[in-house]
């Protein structure tokens, strides 16, 4: 790969990302360095603010009785109460996986947030672990527990944590104020709690007043730095728009609220139209962020309907397309989806007791609002809809379908082949997922950490750990920073039939190489993947095919990997009989084969942020100076025996 100077990268970046985004980012940097943001976000006088806030107990969405909710939630109630009681004991689950003490400290000096953004203070830890408890996900849990039980312990606990946060994080000081999106997510959580607390005559007015003033303080943080959210063209902008609109409704009558509401409405509609492609693809190419966006759109639609407003038809159409697109990626047996793109553990509307990686609660609610139908029969995934008062529609039986998906509900596979119109997340063109009986067998590694020492600084975005080919150990695109790729690798679908898909991408064109892949349902109840590596000039290159499997017991014979449960065989060959090395790496350690390569990031699977589990990286490597074809077969032996 050619080396690029810092100047070359600076020139290429606005040209490829768009001058509008670059200009908005420049405005943000100017605001930081000039002191403008510090002037715009000065500490407010809370008592004066509270004097101007209305004492009315305003409902944001339809009232839902505790008795009705108990009937529909069923066994999920016990799980909810256990989580709420653990919170009262000071225990939280970060990213729905990591048990930790509930720590609301900013872990930074109480300097103005803009100073931290300018690098005046260097954090010693990943800021995501500071932000997660400060997103107030615990507010949803305590509010739900109170509404179902009427137990004042939950409102007392809520008040204690809100007071603690406000004491440890004075307005606009410290790390928890560096992002407008984080303020917006707190607004959503606080507004949900306010809605249910305000329905009870037993909740004291001073708690409701405290929630209102906290919402106002968070809302005032957002408008000055909307330029940053606009520069990103992603979920930041949608979150901040939803936060402003929510505040405008809840604090009706408060002087700035009218403008916040108007700004939030305008920005939300613009962002949805910009960020969702005509086929329903979300701009960030991440299933997790697509869920985040749909959850926030669901919240927005419910609030707007309650307020007598309605989203634009063009916006509803885009949201319907996005709902269908995400549903098309669903594994019906597990409710999970491929772990594509950034997976930062975000669960911004945690209103379901089911596993957080089960996307059915989001899709059921979004389907009811934007498709006017239930995508699933009645089940645990109805809970989010129930809490928000979203009415059911008739269930319409349909199997998930996507243009790049093959198979049936039990056995299916998909291939990633996209043309980028915005910033790519992972260098994963022609990555293949394989699912069998509800289990993901060809995995996407996920993310693990954004902020960490080498090599874990967003390391799993690289081509090398995806289920695709890499050439000379290089990525398909040029990595220039933790989240930035330049020289985007675009894919083209060449053929699509009932049992096969063929596509190619441009990522190695600079090397004189084209990678073309065919995914095909095989005649022996499995899958065949054909990788054609087409050379335009005779120069020796190293070709590596990678597959990431779950951590299952295995045996190796020649180039065949045998797994017992579920029973399948993974075989790799090439059409030139060129000598190839087969290696299996588990959790960064060679299990089969050996070399001097750095194996640290191989053999890991990260289902959510901050978590990595052992997995099996299978690497098939050869050197050649001519075009070559690699064949991978996945044969499910237990299914073969039933069909013979």
Q: What is the pLDDT of residues 469-478, one digit of tens each?
A: 999 999 999 9
Percent of the chain with pLDDT over 90: 85
In the chain the domains, ranked by start, together with CATH numbers, are 61-221 (no CATH), 225-397 (no CATH), 405-643 (2.70.98.70)
Tokens 């505790």 correspond to: 66
The more confidently predicted of residues 124 and 60 is 60
Identify the three-state secondary structure at position 415. strand
Q: pLDDT at residue 644 above 90?
A: no
* pLDDT value of position 643: 38
Mean pLDDT of 488-497: 95
Q: For position 57, what pLDDT does the model report?
A: 78
What is the side-by-side order of every strand in the sheet holding 432-436?
A: 405-407, 411-415, 432-436, 439-442
Polymer length of the chain: 644
Least confident of 168-172, 203-207, 528-532: 203-207
Q: Which residue has the tokens 């054909």?
A: 530
Model-level pTM?
0.95
* Alpha carbon separation from 520 to 5, 497, 624, 631, 634 (Å, rounded): 42, 9, 25, 11, 10
Per-residue model confidence as pLDDT tens digits over 16-43: 677 788 899 999 999 999 999 999 999 9
Average pLDDT over residues 146-172: 98
Of the pLDDT bands very low, low, confident and very high (cuts 50, 70, 90), residue 637 is confident
Determine whether 396 is exposed, middle or buried from the number of CB atoms within 10 Å of its CB (0-12, 13-18, 19+).
Answer: exposed
CA dihedral (104, 107, 111, 114) positive or negative: negative
Alpha-helix runs per DSSP H in 409-479: none
The answer, yes or no, to whether residue 434 has pLDDT greater than 60, is yes
pLDDT above 60 (res 642): no
pLDDT of residue 9: 64
pLDDT at 338 over 60: yes
State how far the Cα of 157 lies from the Cα of 90, in Å rounded to an integer: 9
pLDDT above 70 covers a percentage of the chain that reads 96
């Amino acid at each position: 790969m050619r080396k690029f100077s810092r100047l070359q990268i600076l020139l290429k970046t606005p040209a490829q990302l768009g001058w509008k985004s670059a200009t908005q980012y420049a405005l943000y940097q100017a605001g930081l360095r000039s002191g403008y943001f510090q002037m715009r976000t000065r500490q407010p006088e809370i008592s004066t603010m509270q004097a101007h806030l209305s004492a009315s107990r305003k409902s944001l969405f339809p009232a839902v009785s505790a008795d009705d909710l108990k009937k529909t939630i069923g066994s999920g109630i016990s799980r909810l109460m256990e989580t709420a009681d653990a919170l009262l004991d000071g225990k939280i689950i970060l990213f729905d996986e990591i048990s930790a003490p509930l720590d609301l400290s900013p872990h930074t000096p109480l300097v103005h947030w803009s100073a931290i953004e300018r690098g005046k203070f260097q954090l010693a830890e990943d800021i995501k672990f500071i932000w997660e408890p400060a997103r107030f996900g615990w507010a949803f849990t305590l509010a739900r527990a109170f509404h179902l039980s009427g137990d004042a312990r939950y409102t007392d606990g809520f008040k204690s944590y809100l007071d603690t946060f406000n004491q440890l994080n004075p307005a606009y000081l410290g790390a928890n104020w560096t992002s407008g999106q984080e303020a917006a997510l707190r607004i959503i959580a606080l507004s949900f709690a306010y809605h249910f607390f305000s329905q009870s005559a037993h909740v004291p007015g001073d708690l409701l007043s405290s929630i209102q003033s906290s919402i106002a303080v968070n809302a005032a943080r957002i408008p000055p730095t909307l330029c940053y959210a606009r520069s990103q063209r992603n979920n930041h902008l949608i979150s901040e728009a939803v936060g402003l609109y929510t505040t405008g409704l809840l604090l009706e009558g408060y002087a700035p609220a009218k403008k916040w509401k108007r700004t939030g409405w305008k920005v939300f509609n613009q962002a949805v139209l910009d960020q969702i492609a005509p086929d329903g693809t979300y701009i960030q190419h991440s299933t997790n962020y697509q869920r985040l966006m749909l959850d926030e759109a669901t919240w927005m639609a419910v609030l707007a309907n309650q307020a007598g407003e309605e989203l634009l038809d063009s916006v509803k159409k885009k949201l319907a397309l996005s709902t269908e697109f995400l549903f098309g990626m669903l594994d019906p047996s597990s409710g999970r989806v491929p772990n594509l793109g950034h997976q930062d553990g975000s669960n911004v509307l945690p209103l379901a007791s089911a596993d957080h990686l089960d996307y059915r609660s989001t899709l059921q609610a979004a389907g009811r609002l934007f498709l006017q139908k239930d995508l699933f029969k009645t089940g645990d995934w109805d809970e989010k809809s129930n809490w928000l008062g979203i009415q059911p529609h008739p269930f319409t039986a349909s199997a998930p379908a996507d243009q790049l998906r093959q198979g049936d509900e039990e056995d299916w596979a998909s291939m990633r082949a996209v043309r980028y119109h915005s910033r790519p997340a992972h260098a994963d063109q022609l990555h293949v997922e394989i699912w069998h009986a509800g289990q993901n067998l060809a995995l996407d590694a996920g993310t693990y950490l954004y902020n960490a020492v080498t090599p874990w600084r967003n390391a799993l975005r690289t081509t090398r750990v995806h289920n695709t080919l890499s050439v000379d150990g290089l990525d398909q695109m040029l990595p220039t920073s933790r989240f930035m790729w330049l020289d985007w690798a675009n894919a083209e679908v060449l053929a699509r039939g009932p049992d096969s898909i063929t596509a190619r991408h441009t990522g190695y064109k600079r090397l004189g190489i084209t990678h073309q892949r065919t995914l095909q349902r095989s005649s022996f109840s499995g899958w065949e993947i054909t990788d054609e590596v087409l050379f335009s000039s005779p120069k020796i290159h190293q070709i590596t095919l990678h597959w990431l499997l779950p951590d299952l017991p295995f045996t190796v014979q020649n180039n065949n990997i045998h797994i017992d449960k579920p029973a399948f065989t993974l075989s790799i060959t090439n059409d030139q009989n060129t000598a190839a090395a087969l290696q299996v790496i588990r959790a960064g350690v060679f299990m089969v084969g050996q070399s001097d390569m750095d194996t640290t990031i191989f053999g890991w699977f990260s289902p959510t942020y901050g978590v990595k589990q052992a997995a099996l990286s299978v690497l098939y490597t050869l050197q050649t100076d001519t075009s070559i074809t690699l064949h991978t077969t996945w044969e499910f032996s237990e299914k073969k025996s039933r069909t013979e």
